Amino acid sequence: MTSEAVSSAMHHSVGSSGMRKTGARVALADMVESLRSIRVALVFGWQDVAQRYRRSRIGAFWLTLNTAIFIAAIGLIFGTLFRAPAGEFLDNTSGKNAVVYTHHQDIVEKCHYPWS
């Protein structure tokens, strides 16, 4: 590391009063900075979804529709098997299924495209 890089790193770890910032203060400042620039994360996220579904007629709505179809099918099948009232069974499982299904999609995508 050059002396300029060390000097620059020291400058960033020292507050305006000349006192060293603690790790917690640096982390908090970084989180505040991230929240101020949340728009950048939203733009990148939307571009990823738009790129993935650019050839589909229903586009990004497919994410919601796909999850809803999955939950309805699982609810119908398991609700019938367990002889549970449909409304009660879907209330208990829909949130869990949405989370598990989303993680499943992430895992499958990373297995097919590990570099992305």
The single-letter code of the amino acid at 37 is S
Q: What is the pTM of this model?
A: 0.45
Are 59 and 50 in contact by the 8 Å Cβ rule? The answer is: yes
Give the pair of three-digit tokens for residue 75. 């609810």
- At residue 95, the pLDDT reads 77
- Pick from 19, 38, 39, 35: which is nearest to 27 by CA? 35
Q: In whole angstroms, give the CA distance from residue 64 to residue 85.
A: 24
Are 89 and 79 in contact by the 8 Å Cβ rule? The answer is: yes
| pLDDT by 10s per residue, the chain, length 116 | 444 544 444 455 455 555 466 888 899 999 999 899 999 989 998 888 888 777 777 777 877 788 788 888 888 888 888 887 777 777 777 778 778 877 887 788 778 766 65
